[in-house]
Amino acid sequence: MHNRGRVIVVGAGPVGAVAALAAARRGFAVTLVERNAEVEFDAAPRAATFHPSTLEILDGLAIMPDFLSVGLVCRYFDFWDRPGHALVARMDHDVLRDVTQFPYVVQTEQHKLVRIALERLRKLPDVEILLGWQVDSISQDETGVTVRAANGTAERHITGSWLLGCDGGRSTVRKQLDIEFEGYTWPERFAVLTTRFDFAAAMGCSERSYFADPDQWVNLFKVAGDDLRGRWRVVFAAPADSSDEEVLSDASAKECLAGLHPDAGLGDLVHRNLYNVHQRVAKRFRAGRVFLAGDAAHVNNPIGGLGLNCGIHDAMELVGTLEQAGDDAGAPLLDRYERRRRTVNIEFVQQQTVDNKQRLEEKDPAKRRERLDALRAIADDETRQLAFLRRTSLLDGVQRAQAID
Ligand SMILES: Cc1cc2nc3c(=O)[nH]c(=O)nc-3n(C[C@H](O)[C@H](O)[C@H](O)COP(=O)(O)OP(=O)(O)OC[C@H]3O[C@@H](n4cnc5c(N)ncnc54)[C@H](O)[C@@H]3O)c2cc1C
């Protein structure tokens, strides 16, 4: 018998799906509302790197074996000097072996995490999953919060004790609360080419490799693919003044792939995508009984693979906070959620992702050399590498959040 009240989760992306699962496992009744009826199968290339701090969370939710079965375990990641065709630094997550049970990242498509979480949720009591339903308005008073959801033919009003807005960067929940999304949008868009060409075999690079280049930096990483045979994503910045057609054209794709390896051609290409990139943080993460988590609360460029990881950390902090608060919307600890998660996003995720981008695109030759030398020095010293990886894998971020009252 549940006595914690109902949590309404808007959005079954990875953050909402994990939040719903965590809430249901802790005894909340849960209604999960998602506008995309196919959310478990959404294969658009997005987040793919799950850091040790997040793997600890998935383990706590008892889904690690399932998750590992659909992903790649990656111990190393590289920084390369692209014009010089040279490996600058190889980082080894194994230096984290005394700090975490998971001294590696798992690389896989984010929709697989959604699928695993929803499969688990369907087996838990008092869980309602509404796929194909869009939330378009919310209201709240001292006793609860109500959303209106529609599926094209019908509408429903759902009332709960708490509402978790996990509805992504364009969050309806955030807009309904009139919360400003502070920050900026980068002038350049990011392009993603997905290919079956095996860069590790051809170049000896790790399954996550960052290529610094003042003219065209590249992120290269391998994901499992639905067939588990592996495929590679090539991410690069598209010039701000080029059209979508130009960036996604065969000529442009061919040039980019061949620039990485002469044998990488159009024949292996399976997907092309182009998207806008932002650095933004919501001014508030809470309004009464309503909270923001994941991309609804913060967005950043994907270099370093931190956004989704941070969102999953939000989800766990939020559910833990609600569990402690009981049904008291006046509980002072509710504001601690914002103090912790907003601070950590700014200090760790926004700071690192901007720095990661600048490191790859640095044009000044002296500064460029200095940055690459700094990476070399880190890789050559296990103590410094440990400190570096604690930060890049958000293990330090988790500790910092827990220290905030
Ligand atoms: C190319 C790319 C690569 C990336 N790589 C990484 C990476 O390696 N590591 C990393 O950590 N992050 C990465 N990110 C960022 C990551 O994809 C996002 O941080 C992540 O998707 C956020 O998850 P979310 O659940 O908060 O939001 P979303 O995944 O956007 O999910 C929101 C959900 O809410 C639903 N929804 C929206 N509005 C409504 C509504 N009104 N009613 C009902 N449902 C609604 C949507 O349909 C969607 O399913 C990358 C992003 C991109 C674009």
Does ligand 1 come within 6 angstroms of the Cβ of 305? yes
Mean pLDDT of 303-321: 97
Which tens digit of pLDDT belongs to each residue from 328-354?
Answer: 888 899 999 999 999 999 999 999 999
CA–CA separation, 326 vs 344, rounded Å?
25
**At residue 1, does pLDDT exceed 50?**
no
Which tens digit of pLDDT belongs to each residue from 88-107?
Answer: 999 999 999 999 999 999 99
Q: Is 349 helix (H, G, I), strand (E, B) or coil?
A: helix
Does ligand 1 come within 6 angstroms of the Cβ of 306? yes
Mean residue pLDDT of the chain comes to: 96
Q: What CATH superfamily is the domain 6-74+105-184+279-358? A: FAD/NAD(P)-binding domain (3.50.50.60)
**The predicted structure's pLDDT at residue 2:** 52
**The predicted structure's pLDDT at residue 187:** 94
Q: How far is the CA of 226 from the centre of ligand 1 (A)?
A: 19
Does ligand 1 come within 6 angstroms of the Cβ of 33? yes
The CA distances from residue 35 to 31, 134, 168, in Å, are 13, 4, 12
Contacts of 362 (CB under 8 A, 6+ apart): 212, 214, 368, 371
The minimum-distance atom of ligand 1 relative to the CA of 300 is: 15
Report the nearest-CA residue for atom 35 of ligand 1. 11
CA–CA separation, 79 vs 87, rounded Å?
6
Lowest mean pLDDT among 65-79, 230-244, 376-390: 230-244
Does ligand 1 come within 6 angstroms of the Cβ of 304? no
Does ligand 1 come within 6 angstroms of the Cβ of 213? no
Contacts of 11 (CB under 8 A, 6+ apart): 33, 34, 165, 166, 167, 168, 171, 294, 296
**The predicted structure's pLDDT at residue 228:** 87
**The predicted structure's pLDDT at residue 283:** 98
**Which of 399, 319, 393, 403 is closest to 60 using CA atoms?**
319
**The predicted structure's pLDDT at residue 327:** 85
Which tens digit of pLDDT belongs to each residue from 32-87?
Answer: 999 999 999 877 888 899 999 999 999 999 999 999 999 999 999 999 999 999 99
Q: How far is the CA of 383 from the centre of ligand 1 (A)?
A: 34
Tokens standing for residue 404? 């905030």
Strand order in the sheet with 278-282: 181-185, 278-282, 298-299
Domain boundaries, given as residue ranges, for the chain = 6-74+105-184+279-358
**The predicted structure's pLDDT at residue 240:** 85
CA–CA separation, 11 vs 130, rounded Å?
10
CA–CA separation, 304 vs 286, rounded Å?
27
